[in-house]
Chains A and B, each alone.
Chain A
Amino acid sequence: MSTALRDILRNPTVAELELVARYAGLKVDARRERLFEAFALTGLPGRRDENWRWSDFKSAVTALDAPKTPPAHDPLARGGVATLRFSPSGFAAPSALPAGVRLVTREDVQAMGGAEDVPLGALAAALSGTVQVEVSAEAPVHLHMVFQGPGAIHAARIAFLLRPGTELHVSESHLGGAAFSAALIEFTLQAGARLNRTIYQRGGAGEVQAITALIEQDAGAESVQTVLAFGAKVSRIETRLVHRETGSKATLNAAYLAGKGFHADITTHVRHGAPACTTRQQTKGAVLDGGRGVFRGKFLVPRTSGQQTDASMQHNALLLEEGAEVFAKPELEILADDVQCAHGNTSGALDGTQLFYLRQRGIPLVQARAMLTEAHIAQALEGAGEHEDALRTEASRWLAP
């Protein structure tokens, strides 16, 4: 370990030392060094870091050996859609990709802005090469990505460039298999480009997962993101989005369902870096005894660039049983004056009056709870388009096994 790194990583944990060793075994590269140091500034983030206090990766990532989790099935898989596969042992893409899609695999490390803000994104970038995908097709492009496979550490990075006016529908299944996985996914939407991103996340009870996305949108670009997260020992799905030109629009929806021993964190950060941009955000959660849900959402609206911002943030959590935990921090930092910003944040039990109404009609308690919970999260899944049914099926199976 270099002294610089040692300085940064004072009192490293066993897992952090293993990450350093893995880094040290990779080809020397100035960008890699910069990114690893950006990670090392924080190390594995945890309780002491304000942005991570409820999602303690430092304690959760213990020995880095492959957990014996049975392979999870992939509800978003569809025949006929080109599938990119990421696993601890490597990356695989089909030889034939849709017209207007160019894919390049690079062994060297690509630069990344704001690496210090996303330590686990920086770590993913430092420990892996980059898959670059350029979309220039006239017709909408459909791609599927699977992140899965046995191993100790799984680091992956993929960067999409959507040329002006193009449309990409990408689905991602983060199915675990590694003790610790960190994925970095970047999207650049040029003027008028459209992105529909659907994420299904389900890790094992012994696994730790960090999925970090950086999205940048130019004039009139539009993105719709839909997440269904079941968590892991600890999981975090973080999305940092920048509206960097006028008239850009984003919808960021998520549903999380956390059972006993599972932890699901949904974190977003949206910067209204240009006038007249729109953000709609809706996060719905349901948690059982021994489960934990975390929501952190931030809108940053600067004084001049953020004028005419239209943004709303909703987080509503159901504590389905005693012993369920939800932590939420919605944050609006609004410095511009001509804006429309709304937010709401609730957590509580299911409505007893509704439950009784269903039971009076003969619907057993467990099923009644499931129906009400499914209705609660349903709205957050509506943007998933062709994947909405698959997500709802997974949710209802979890709710009423």
Chain B
Amino acid sequence: MLKIENLSATVGEGEGVKTILHGLTLSVPTGEVHAIMGPNGAGKSTLSYVLTGREGYTVTGGTATLNGLDLLSLDPEARAAKGIFLSFQYPVEIPGVPVMTFVRTAMNAQRKARGEAEISAPDFIRKSREIAKVLSLDPEMLKRPVNVGFSGGEKKRLEIYQMMMLEPRFMVLDETDSGLDIDALRTVAEGVNALRAPDRGMLVITHYQRLLDYIKPDKVHVLAKGRIIKTGGPELAHRLEAEGYDGVLAEAV
């Protein structure tokens, strides 16, 4: 279970400090998929960064735990080893580091942190091949430097590839649908759905309802102005799609 209680966070320093999360409370029980929707600038990406420990974000109050473990006191790499994975809204280019090297290093670092044995090269390659196939990724692409020269859609598919390789306990997908055409969206959703499991949780951040036709959420939350203002079932996403955020926002005030 991912449990966020009364979480507040700021960005910036000195004069430029700005509070983005204002006492956000949210729980995603293990085995469930929840969606977060909200207008631009609501604080959705900020929430994903605060959960994963990105520098530049300061937690000023509240807690976040994964299966009872305090996430906020850990380094980003320790949080990753405990099973939290972020599919970035804007995946980062890493020139000079091939995808396979990167993912294998990450996988073995996580395993080491958990006291597990490294994956063997043949096992790694076999697994990589299978997953690349599911996601219709060209195996040649996996030899190229991470995200360098990849199209927007390829970058998003590569995020899902990494997620499937690393098999995290809890996944945060930040606008994975942006930049994807309908075929790519379907492929990506297939990959994500393959990871749904009773021992995994998922938080799907999206701006549009469209993605939720493919990744069916158990619950939908509306995030606005740094807190969750409404929670409902999948029908809430449809309502937002039809009416826009204004109605829901007005109700909440």
Chain A residues near B (Cβ < 8 Å): 352-354, 356-365, 367-368, 371-372, 374-376, 378-379
Contacts and interface: CB of A to CB of B under 8 A. Distances in A.
B77 A359 contact: yes
A362 B82 CA distance: 9
Contacts of B213: none
Contacts of B166: 361-362
A129 B1 CA distance: 77
Nearest to B52: A360
Contact of A376 (B56, B81, B96): B96
A372 B110 contact: no
B54 interface: yes
A374 B96 contact: yes
Scoring A354, A360, A367, A371 by chain B CB atoms within 10 A of each residue's CB, the highest score goes to A360
B88 A359 contact: no
Contacts of B55: 352, 356
A356 B94 contact: no
B116 to A, nearest CB: 12
B95 interface: yes
Contacts of A378: 96
Interface stretch (B64-72, B101-109, B175-183): B101-109
Contacts of A376: 96
A359 B76 CA distance: 6
Contacts of A364: 75, 77, 109, 113
Chain A interface secondary structure, helix, strand, loop or mixed?
helix
Given A352-B55, A356-B54, A367-B109, A361 B94 contact: no
Contacts of A371: 97, 102, 105
Interface string B53-67: 111100000000000
30 contacts: A354-B93, A357-B88, A357-B91, A357-B94, A358-B106, A359-B75, A359-B76, A359-B80, A360-B53, A360-B76, A360-B79, A360-B80, A360-B85, A360-B86, A361-B80, A361-B103, A361-B162, A361-B166, A362-B77, A362-B106, A362-B110, A362-B166, A363-B77, A363-B105, A364-B109, A365-B75, A367-B109, A375-B95, A375-B96, A378-B96
Contacts of A358: 94, 102, 106
Contacts of B121: none
Contact of B97 (A353, A359, A360, A375): A375
Interface residues of B, number: 32
B92 interface: yes
A367 B105 contact: yes
Contacts of B54: 356, 360
A361 B109 CA distance: 9
A360 B75 CA distance: 9
Interface of B: 52-56, 75-77, 79-81, 85-86, 88, 91-97, 102-103, 105-107, 109-110, 113, 145, 162, 166
Given A362-B113, A362-B166, A356 B105 contact: no
Scoring B54, B85, B91 by chain A CB atoms within 10 A of each residue's CB, the highest score goes to B54
A126 B85 CA distance: 64
Contact of A363 (B53, B95, B106): B106
Contact of B94 (A359, A362, A365, A372): A372
B44 to A, nearest CB: 17
Given A356-B54, A356-B55, A362 B96 contact: no
A353 B106 contact: no
Contacts of A368: 77
Given A362-B113, A364-B113, 5 more contacts: A359-B76, A360-B85, A360-B88, A361-B162, A375-B145
Contacts of A372: 94, 97
A369 B92 CA distance: 15
Would you list the 3 A-B pairs with minimal beta carbon distance, nearest first?
A375-B96, A362-B80, A361-B106
A365 B107 CA distance: 15
Contacts of A374: 96
Contacts of A353: 92
A357 B96 contact: no
A352 B92 CA distance: 11
Given A356-B54, A356-B55, A360-B86, A365 B77 contact: yes
Nearest to A367: B109
B182 to A, nearest CB: 28
A357 B80 contact: no
Contacts of B53: 359-360
Scoring A354, A357, A361 by chain B CB atoms within 10 A of each residue's CB, the highest score goes to A361
Contacts of B88: 357, 360
Given A360-B76, A360-B86, A379 B96 contact: yes
Contacts of A365: 75, 77
Contacts of B79: 360
Nearest to A374: B96
B54 to A, nearest CB: 5
Scoring B76, B80, B105, B109 by chain A CB atoms within 10 A of each residue's CB, the highest score goes to B76
B109 A363 contact: yes
B81 A362 contact: yes
Contacts of A352: 55-56
Contacts of B110: 361-362
A356 B92 CA distance: 9
A220 B54 CA distance: 53
Contacts of B77: 359-360, 362-365, 368
A357 B92 contact: yes
A362 B86 contact: no
Contacts of B76: 356, 359-360
Nearest to A356: B54
Scoring B77, B105, B166 by chain A CB atoms within 10 A of each residue's CB, the highest score goes to B77
